Structure 1
């Protein structure tokens, strides 16, 4: 009988501790962490881009792991293709940034990636879903899909995106974007 009482007490203590832990902290952030918050915040403010969008793209592209290079040659946290990165570096006029720095340095990569997102946002009149698709498939492809009526650029019609990889990419970015905006009340 004493053994059962001890188990009940221990169980109640465990439940109480767990409840306090979950109620007093933002425990969902354990499953959806955002790294490089200062860099994301800084560059998002500079280029007037939603920081949760930047964070969601980084999460999908590399899960915040630096030094990544994809099979296709995309570089760094935000996985910028070398041609796109060179074009953006020329247009953004960022001093002292090279492709090697983009691959290794999170801040430089986040800055150029965020600048590129602003460029896409201007090109697609702020349509966040089209911007996400263009980040993955390229703005030319997305413009063509919109012009030909293959996709209307809305979230409701994401399943109409002609390229499966881009369709899946957009869905994943939207998912993480929604998680981040729900979990983190401010950034």
Structure 2
């Protein structure tokens, strides 16, 4: 009986050691990959935003799959609505971007999406959580929630977001954002 107990203790110690090594190594990156790193890095730098935020949004929107179109008509890896894309193209002065290229070319999509994220950061005075919510629900809705007191724009109170889809979206993007920051340290 003593021999069996010793084996169990040794097995438990060995498994604990393996788990500790696994979670303190780069192995976890296999579960949190980042694709389009050069494009994300470039457009995030141009727009002075955190590349990890761009990566987290792409992960939640399409899991880095190109040529995506949602049932609501959102296009590309960052799932940009056509009207939003047209607005960004005119405001940012990007005549070489078409809606078709937005769907098929991740670089163009990330360019438009990053510019739009920067505009949301400006509108919400750098509040990352409100920016995430606005990327999903639209800035007008998020401003109305904050102004009316339905939600205060913080992750800790994201359970108060009136739309279930946006509430879940904020939590998922915030999770991936945190994981990317912890795992990759630098982009």
Could you say whether these structures have the same fold, taking a TM-score greater than 0.5 normalized by the shorter chain as the test?
yes
- Give the corresponding residue for 2:98: 98
Residue 22 of structure 1 deviates from its aligned partner by 5.5
TM-score by length of 2: 0.87
- Give the corresponding residue for 1:26: 26
Residue 95 of structure 1 deviates from its aligned partner by 2.9
Matched, 1:157 2:157: yes
- Give the corresponding residue for 2:48: 48
* Cα offsets for 1:63-111 (capped at 9, x unmatched): 0000000000000000001111111111111131000000000100001
- Give the corresponding residue for 2:73: 73
Matched, 1:167 2:167: yes
- Give the corresponding residue for 1:61: 61
- Give the corresponding residue for 2:116: 116
- Name the CA distance, whole Å, in 2 between partners of 1:23 and 1:136: 31
Residue 23 of structure 1 deviates from its aligned partner by 9.4
- Name the CA distance, whole Å, in 1 between partners of 2:154 and 2:35: 29
Residue 35 of structure 1 deviates from its aligned partner by 0.1
Dislocated runs of 4+, deviation >6 Å? none
- Give the corresponding residue for 1:143: 143
TM-score by length of 1: 0.87
Question: Secondary structure in 2 aligned to 1:61?
Answer: helix
- Name the CA distance, whole Å, in 1 between partners of 2:138 and 2:24: 43
* Cα offsets for 1:15-39 (capped at 9, x unmatched): 9xx89x9699611111100000000
- Name the CA distance, whole Å, in 1 between partners of 2:185 and 2:84: 33
Matched, 1:87 2:100: no
Structure 1 unpaired stretches of 5+ = 1-14
How many residue pairs were aligned? 170
